[in-house]
Structures are given as structure tokens and as C-alpha cells.
Amino acid sequence: MIIELGHFLLALALSLSIFQFLVPAVGVKFNYHSMMKSTSIISYMSFILVLFSFLSLVYAYITSDFSVSLVAKNSHSLKPLLYKISGVWGNHEGSLLLWVLILTFYSVAVAILGRRLPLKLLSLVLSCQGLIAVAFISFILFTSNPFVRIFFPNAEGEGFNPILQDFGLAIHPPFLYLGYVGLSVTFSFSIAALLVGKVDTIWVKWVRPWTLIAWVFLTIGIALGSWWAYRELGWGGWWFWDPVENASFMPWLVATALLHSSIVAEKRDTLKAWTILLAIIAFSFCLLGTFIVRSGVLVSVHAFASDPSRGLYILLLLVFFTGGGLVLFAKRAPYLKSGSLFKPLSREGALVINNIIFASAAATVLLGTLYPIFIDAINNSKVSVGPPYFEAVFIPLMVPAILLCAFSPMLSWKRAIIDNIIERIIAVFICSLFLASLIIIIHGGSASAFLGLFLAFWLICGTLYEFLIKVGVKSSFKTFIQRALNLPRSAYGMSVAHIGVAIFIIGVTVSGAWRIDIEKPIILGEKIIVKDIELTFKNIKKVEGPNWNADRGEFEIITSNGAKHFLYPERRFYPASQVNTSEPAIMSGIFSDLYIVLGESLQEEDSFAFRIYYSPFISWIWFGILLMAVGGILSLSDRKHRLGYGLKQV
């Protein structure tokens, strides 16, 4: 009964969304203020309906109602509660419902926080959000309905892809979607701006925080996904350049470019058409990501649910929104007033280069991801593009971006004089060269390790130096503290995010260059020494979990300082889905991770295939990404970015 109610509420939400699209559009066209004003209320109602519809599905999962087809296929009565709930979005239909829930939530946020926006602009934004909701709700109702019943329910349910049964992954989709859908808001703002034909300061002041919100969520979402891949896939790797990973990475790259271009648009009133274009492209990449993940046009280890007929619908959505946005852009952009001019050597110039680099990076990832499709179309042969391509193309692109990142905040707006900063650049250069060489001389390492370390130190030194200059190096301690406290939070945000990038680079470089891999059979009782850590294979036994049984190995670890730890790598078998998974045991530390994977049992008694990875500094990768997100949050908390700030006067 409750599930039918949920179904009905979603259908009702569809009709409300049609109103949310039409009412403000008609209102703007004929200048009916009452119609424009009523849009907010429609968006509240639509959100409440979708929320209850979503909750009804959650209820079906919690109570394990296997007469609902989706629950029967993706859940199991023995599953822990957390994974029953996360099972709601662990599949195509439910994840789309979550998508729509977040979309309507953002519409409500825009409606509430945007009360002081010009009514016409707000109405157009909500109208556009309404249209996106119409498209996605009808996609759910007509092609991927989560509320379908089956007539002969199974008592247990068919389970759930066990590899997805992980805490990191349970909360990964909501974060990713909060990011993806957040970009729909900037998209709607861009469309509204193009329709109004005016991009003013108010508009930019609004787009900046929304981009930040989406970017922060996207960053955390990607970090969670990568963290999951590291812990679950059992290869000790953290990024695989898989189409599905790229699908979330491309919007991130474009959103990063958008973040930086909107600074220029806000501070210098220029690059406005470009910012609008980036906002359209960023959302298009989100739709494209959905298309790649859901249509099965590309092979991916993550393709859990794909269906070509749905692919066609998503392609039509993509054509409609992106195509429509770009047509509007092509018609209106030339008439937008171009802003103030600047010299190539200036903060604006540096940010433009940042944008070019990030846009090209997104384009290279797109090319690599779609290359199999192009080649298949051109000469009918199958290829797959793997990490070597991406590493060869992506890393060289990012090097100039990092070089630029350290000193572009030192450049002044409009026109910078190189003589003023050349000394600082040389100081930073010598300092980072010295530090990187020191580490390479002590530990030995390849040229690429040196380059990575140099870039990281360059960025850290440059960012710290710039920060010190801002608060004044030569001033007394008291004024130093005073000025540090008075700095806007967005300045801290930038510094923290850039330091985060540096820490990320350190993690990537060090874990790649000094990683130790051991793959060999180990006999019970055998002792192995990795670096300065002693491992002893103590025991192996059978254990039972809630919906799996497993072989669990026991390792005694003695670290160089004599501390004793135990690690328990498992090889699990899920009878419900007849799947084997390996649960690596990981000893995570600040400076190194020890990663043990239990493989198959071998011919001789008591001998098992093991893979052991020693990865120094690998946790710095996620710590760095987290710092970037913290930087974004700091920047978001800045007074002048608070939504609606400074609009009273207008």
C-alpha cells in the first residue's frame, strides 16, 4: 500500500514539476507578477511529494518487502540495516529517485535563499529546474520505475552486489549526486541569464557559492569513491581511469575551471560568456556521466546496471538540455557586454590559463574515455584506453597548472609587474628545489618522483609565502595576528585548498615511487619482512558473517618500533549471489599503509596466495582531497559568499 502511495506521489510530483516549469515561464512572458511569485510554493510542494515518495521506497527496503521487484532484486533479508538503506540508491532506479530528490531540494534552497533575487531571474531559474525535474521524473516513471510489484515474491531477495556492501560506498552516491545536481543550479542560472540577456554582479555573486557547494560535494564524492576502490577492489590502487570514474572526474575538472573563472567574473566583471559556457558544459558532463554509466556504451568494471533503451532516453535528455543550452548560448552570448580588459601578465591572465588547462584536461579525459567509441565508428575495431594514456597526457597538462598555481595569487589584478614578484618566485624555486633534492638524495628515486616532490614543495612554499606576504612578514607579532584574523575566509580557503593539492601530489608521488609489491604463496607460520615491518602468517579459519561466510587469515605485524598489530584479510563468499570477494586487511598509518589480500588456497596444505602491498604516504591522497574540500567550505563560509549577501541594497 505504502509503495503504491509513493508511486502516486511521484506521478503527482511530475505534474507539479510541469507547473513549476510553465507557471513562471508564462509569468515572465506576460509579466504576471502573481504567477512568478507562486513558483516558490510549487517548488516546496514538489520537494515534499518527492521526499515522501523516496521515503516509501526506503520503507520497503527497511521492511524487506520483496513483493517490490526492485527490493527483491537488490536487497536481502539478512543484510545489515545500513546497507538495506543504502541499497535504495545502490541500483539504477533508486539512484535516479535520489537524484530527483536532491534536485527538488536544491530548487527549494534556491527559492528560499533567493527571495531577494530579481523576481524575473529567480522565476526563470526555478522554471529551468522544473523542466529538469520533468525530464528526470518522467524518465523514472516511464523507463525505470522503482515501484513495480512482482506477483510471486521470493522469501529472501536476490541480494546485492556484495562488493558494494561497504560504508564508504553507501554514502558515496549521495555526495556525488549532491555535487552533480548542484551543477544543475549553475546551469539553470546560466540559462536564466541568457534568457534575460544580462549578466550582472548579482548573477555572479549567486553562481560562485553554488559552484562552490557543488564542487565541495563532488570532491568529497570522488574521494569516497576512490577510497572505496582502494579498500574493496583489492589491487592497492586508488584510481583506475575507468569510464565510470572519469564520468565523475570530468564534471569536477570543469567545475574547478568554473570556480576559478567565476572569481574573475565576480572581481573583475569579465569572462562572463566563458563562465556561462563552463556552467552549461559542467552540467552537460553530469548528464554525460549518467549516460555513460547507465547506457552500457562503454565497458566498465562499475557497470552494474546498464540498459541501451534507457541509454537512448538519456541521450535525448542530453541533446535537449545541452543542445538547447548551447543553442541559446550561440544566439545570445555575442550580445553580452564584454567586461574590462586586462594584460596577459595579471591575475586574470593566470586564471585564464588555469581555465584553459582545466578545460583541456577535461577534454583529454573525455577523448580517452570515448576513444573506443570513435575508433569503433571509424574503422570498426575494438580498443580500450587504459591508464598509460591518461598518465601520459594528463600529468604533463597538470604540471604547468601547478607551477602557475603557486605564484598566480601573488600577481596583481589587471596588470602585474614581473619585477615585483620575480624575487619571490626565485626564492620559492630554490627552496623547493632544495627540499625535493634532499629527499631524493636520502631515499633515492626516479626523475618523476623528483618532479612530483618538487611540484608539491613549490606549491606549499609558494602558498605559504603568499600568505605571509598578505599578513605582512615584517610587522610585529601583534599586528601579524591581527591581520591574519582579519583576512577574509575565502583567502584561507584558497590557501588550504592549494595546500591540499600539494599534499595530494605528495601522496600520489611517494606512494607510487616507493611502493613495494609482494605477490607470492605463503605457508602457515611463515615470516615475511617488508621494509622494516615483520609479518607472520599465524592462522587461517572459517568465519560466518550476516550474509556471507569467509576464510579469514590472521597476520601478526611487528613494526620497526616493536608495536604489535594483527591483520585479518578475508576471502568472503556470498551464497545469495554466489559471489566471492576479497576483503583486504589494511593497516593505515600517517606515513604508510600495509595492505594484505588473501588469495586462493594452493595445492600444498596450508599454503595460500597472498598479495602484500606496502604503500608509503598513500593516505595523504585522500587527506589532500579532503583539505581541498575543507578549503571550499572555508571559502563558502566567507561573509561575502553567503547566499543573498549584499543584495539588500540592490
Partner 1 sequence: MKNKLKYFYSYTPLIVFLILVLFFARQLILKEDPSELPSVLIDEKFPSIILSELEGYKVFSNKNLINANGPSLVNIWSSWCVPCKVEHEYLMSMSNNDNIIIYGINYKDNKAEALKVLDLNGNPFYAIGADQDGMQSINLGVYGVPETFIIDRDGNIRYRHVGPILEYDMEKIILPIINKIKQERL
- Least distance from partner 1 to the Cβ atom of residue 235, Å: 15
Task: Give first-to-last CA distance, the chain, whole Å.
Answer: 51
Residue 556: alpha-carbon gap to chain centroid: 37
296's CB contacts (< 8 A; 6+ apart) are 303, 306, 307, 308, 311
| E strand segments, 370-414 | none
Which of 41, 299, 392, 543 is the binder for partner 1 (CB under 8 A)?
A: 299
Strand partners, 570: 552, 583
Give whichever of 42 and 183 is closer to partner 1, judged by the CB atom.
183
The cell for 542 is 572459517
The one segment of 73-81, 313-321, 619-627, 635-643 that binds partner 1 by CB under 8 A: 313-321
- Judged by beta carbon, residue 334 or residue 562, the one nearer partner 1 is 334
Return left, alpha or beta for 540; rule: phi > 0 is left, psi -120 to 50 is alpha, else beta: beta
**Interacting span for partner 1 (CB under 8 A) from 53-61, 78-86, 309-317, 405-413:** 309-317
Would you give the distance in Å from CA 449 to the centre of its chain?
26
Cβ–Cβ under 8 Å, residues 521 and 609: yes
Which CB sits closer to partner 1, 382 or 648? 382
Q: Which helix (H) or strand (E) holds 595?
A: strand 592-601
Interface with partner 1, residue 377, by CB under 8 A: yes
Closer residue to partner 1, CB minimum distance, 160 or 492: 160
Q: Given candidates 225, 372, 409, 500, which one binds partner 1 under the rule CB under 8 A?
A: 372
**What string marks each residue from 323 to 342 as x (binds partner 1 by CB under 8 A) or -?**
x--xx-xxx-xx--------
Stretch that binds partner 1, among 10-18, 215-223, 278-286, 524-532 (CB under 8 A): 278-286
Output b/e per residue, 126-138; b: 16+ Cβ within 10 A: bbbbbbbbbbbbb
**CB atoms < 10 A from the CB of 148, how many?**
12
Instruction: Pick the binder of partner 1 from 315, 404, 540, 558 (CB under 8 A).
Output: 315
Q: Which is nearer to partner 1, 103 or 297 (CB)?
A: 297
Return the number of the residue (165 or 284) whose C-beta is nearest partner 1.
284
Grid look-up 601478526 returns 556
Helices (H) and strands (E) in the chain, counts: 20, 10
Q: Work out how close the CB of 334 gets to partner 1 at its nearest, in angstroms, rounded to a whole number.
A: 5
318, 291 Cβ separation under 8 angstroms? yes
User: Checking phi first, is residue 501 left (phi over 0); if not, alpha (psi -120 to 50) or beta?
Assistant: alpha
Phi, psi of 593 (to 5 degrees): -115, 140
Please tell me the distance from the alpha carbon of residue 142 to that of residue 145, in angstroms, as a whole number. Answer: 7
Near partner 1 by CB under 8 A: residue from 297, 501, 502, 567: 297
Q: Is 162 in the site for partner 1 (CB under 8 A)?
A: no
91, 129, 284, 619: which one binds partner 1 (CB under 8 A): 284
Type of residue at 114: G
| Degrees, nearest 5: CA angle 317-318-321 | 80
Among 153, 168, 237, 296, binds partner 1 (CB under 8 A): 296
578 binds partner 1 (CB under 8 A): yes
| Cβ atoms within 10 Å, residue 576 | 18
Sign of the dihedral through C-alpha 289, 291, 293, 294: positive
Nearest distance in Å: CB 356, partner 1: 15
What's the DSSP call for residue 149? Answer: B
606 binds partner 1, rule: CB under 8 A: no
Residues 484-523 that bind partner 1 (CB under 8 A): none
**Phi-psi region for residue 542, left (φ > 0), alpha (ψ -120 to 50) or beta?**
beta
Using CB under 8 A, pick the residue from 25, 108, 298, 494 that binds partner 1: 298
User: Which residue reads 549553475 in cell numbers?
Assistant: 186
Out of 21, 291, 429, 454, which residue is the one contacting partner 1 (CB under 8 A)? Answer: 291
User: Between 585 and 604, how does the x/- string for binding to partner 1 read (CB under 8 A)?
Assistant: ---------------xx-x-
Residue 547 contacts partner 1 per CB under 8 A? no
At closest approach, how far in Å is the CB of 163 from partner 1? 16
Task: Kindly tell me the burial class for residue 413, based on how many C-beta atoms sit within 10 Å of its own C-beta (0-12, 13-18, 19 or more).
Answer: middle
Indicate which single residue of 34, 151, 382, 562 sits in contact with partner 1 (rule: CB under 8 A): 382
Residue 473 sits in the site that holds partner 1 (CB under 8 A): no
301 contacts partner 1 (rule: CB under 8 A): no
144 binds partner 1 (CB under 8 A): no
When the beta carbons of 2 and 196 are compared against partner 1, the nearer one is 196
Q: Is 434 in the site for partner 1 (CB under 8 A)?
A: no
Residue 322 vs 346, nearer CB to partner 1: 322
Q: Is 246 in the site for partner 1 (CB under 8 A)?
A: no
Report in angstroms how near the CB of residue 256 gets to partner 1 at its nearest: 19
Taking Cα atoms as reference points, which of 191, 195, 253 lies closest to residue 222?
253
> Could you say whether residue 605 binds partner 1 (CB under 8 A)?
no
Binding residues for partner 1 (CB under 8 A): 273, 277, 280-281, 284, 291, 295-299, 308, 311-312, 315, 318-319, 322-323, 326-327, 329-331, 333-334, 370, 372-374, 376-377, 382, 578, 600-601, 603
